[in-house]
Structures are given as structure tokens and as C-alpha cells.
């Protein structure tokens, strides 16, 4: 009796549809954990890069020198990428003598806004998928349970006397799908909430730096115009 109610025995003897649903849930669990590990490393790296770049930027005190250092790197990311896009646009627009400081600033803001969207998309990639997995996994598991119970009672329809010892294994097989659905959903939902908060914190640092840089370049633009007038 104990052997017949072991977990692996119940899974092996479950209805084929229930087994397929269990496989789908296991695949969803592996996928969600892979996403969480990858996003954890990426967001941790992004936060560290933002902190290091901001420290380097404000300690250097020379925007052009920082830009030269960024230009030497093979591929800038995060806050460095935002700065690179914004300052490159600033240098391009400043060469045009007929542009006012506010026009230059609008171009810089537009360029950094595009860069911000690209970085946001890179960082939040597949995080929404965690929320989707967490939302649908319980229902997929419940579908497996309902299907398993229906199949069990259909199979028991030809039995003259259905005792608890006959019904219990079939019910247990079906309920495993619900338990598995919750096992998949709970970590996915927790991961989605945690990484969403972490992403918002990183993007807030980017936005603050963007505002500070725009203010700095705004002053530089009007300073350059005043020098040309003189």
C-alpha cells in the first residue's frame, strides 16, 4: 500500500494528459529559475556598474576625459552607455553655431531617452515572463488535477464497488499536478516582485544621473555660446 502511494509511483501511473501537464510545469519551473539566476546576476552587475561609474564620473571632474575613457571601451553598458549617447549628441550639436542651448539640451535629452529605453529593455528582458509563469502555473496544475479526477472516475465507472483504497491513488495522482503548479508559481511570483523592485531602483539611478548630466551640459552649452559671442 505504501509503495503504491509513493510519489514516483503515482506520477508514473498518472493519466497521460496529467503527465504531459506535469512535464510542462517542470519545464516552466526550470525556465523560471534560469531567468531568475540570469536576471539576478545582470541586475547586480548593473547596480555595481552604475555605482562605480557615478563615482568615477563625479571624482574626475572632466566630462570630456570621462567620455574618452568610455570611448576606448569595446561596448559601454548601463550608465556609461547613457552618458556616451548623451555626450556624443552634445558634441555633435555644439558644432552647429546656429543652435541655442535649449535646442542642444533637447537633442541630448532625446538621445539619452532612447538610450534609457534600450537599457530598460535589456534589463527587464524576460522579467515579465516570470509574472506570466507565476500567474498561469496554478491554473495549469488545476487543469491537470481536474482532468486526472475526471479520468479516474471514468475508469472507476465499471467497478462494482469503489472503495477508498481504489479511489485514493487516483485522486492523489491528480492532486500532484496542483501541488506542482504551486511549486512552480510561488518562486516565480516572488522572483518577479523582487526583480521588478530591483529594476526600478537601477532605472531610478539612471534617471537621476540623466537629470544631473543634462543640467551640467545645459550650463556647458550656454557657457560655450557666451564664449562665441565674446
List, for residues 166-222, the tens digit of each pLDDT value.
Answer: 667 777 777 888 999 999 999 999 999 999 999 999 999 999 998 888 888 877 766
Q: Is 18 in contact with 174 (CB distance < 8 Å)?
A: yes
How far apart (Å, rounded) are the C-alpha atoms in residues 189 and 211? 33
How far apart (Å, rounded) are the C-alpha atoms in residues 149 and 154? 8
Quote the pLDDT of residue 160. 65
Taking residues 148-175, what's their average pLDDT? 71
In a domain, 3, yes or no: no
Whether the full predicted model's pTM is greater than 0.85, yes or no, is: no
In a domain, 9, yes or no: no
Q: pLDDT class for 46, splitting at 50, 70, 90?
A: very high
**Percent of the chain at pLDDT above 70?**
83
In a domain, 19, yes or no: no
Handedness of CA 82, 83, 88, 91 (dihedral sign): positive
Q: How many structural domains is the chain composed of?
A: 1
Residue 220 belongs to domain spanning: 35-229
In a domain, 174, yes or no: yes
In a domain, 211, yes or no: yes
- Where is pLDDT greater, at 69 or 36? 36
Number of Cβ atoms within 10 Å of the Cβ of 209: 21
In a domain, 11, yes or no: no
Taking residues 11-17, what's their average pLDDT? 76
C-alpha angle 216/121/134, rounded to 5°? 135
Q: pLDDT class for 3, splitting at 50, 70, 90?
A: very low
In a domain, 201, yes or no: yes
In a domain, 21, yes or no: no
Amino acid at each position: 500500500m505504501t509503495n503504491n502511494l509513493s510519489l514516483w509511483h503515482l506520477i508514473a501511473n498518472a493519466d497521460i494528459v496529467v503527465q504531459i501537464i506535469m512535464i510542462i510545469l517542470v519545464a516552466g519551473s526550470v525556465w523560471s529559475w534560469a531567468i531568475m539566476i540570469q536576471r539576478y546576476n545582470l541586475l547586480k552587475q548593473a547596480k555595481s556598474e552604475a555605482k562605480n561609474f557615478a563615482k568615477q564620473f563625479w571624482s574626475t571632474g572632466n566630462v570630456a576625459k570621462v567620455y574618452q575613457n568610455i570611448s576606448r571601451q569595446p561596448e559601454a553598458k548601463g550608465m556609461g552607455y547613457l552618458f556616451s549617447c548623451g555626450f556624443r549628441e552634445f558634441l555633435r550639436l555644439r558644432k552647429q553655431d546656429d543652435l541655442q542651448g535649449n535646442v542642444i539640451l533637447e537633442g541630448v535629452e532625446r538621445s539619452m531617452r532612447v538610450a534609457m529605453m534600450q537599457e530598460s529593455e535589456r534589463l527587464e528582458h524576460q522579467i515579465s515572463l516570470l509574472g506570466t509563469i507565476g500567474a498561469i502555473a496554478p491554473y495549469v496544475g488545476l487543469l491537470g488535477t481536474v482532468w486526472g479526477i475526471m479520468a479516474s472516475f471514468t475508469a472507476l465507472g465499471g467497478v462494482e464497488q469503489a472503495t477508498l483504497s481504489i479511489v485514493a491513488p487516483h485522486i492523489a495522482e491528480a492532486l500532484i499536478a496542483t501541488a506542482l503548479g504551486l511549486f512552480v508559481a510561488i518562486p516565480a511570483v516572488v522572483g518577479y516582485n523582487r526583480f521588478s523592485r530591483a529594476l526600478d531602483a537601477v532605472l531610478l539611478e539612471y534617471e537621476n544621473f540623466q537629470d544631473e548630466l543634462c543640467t551640467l551640459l545645459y550650463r556647458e552649452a550656454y557657457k560655450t555660446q557666451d564664449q562665441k559671442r565674446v
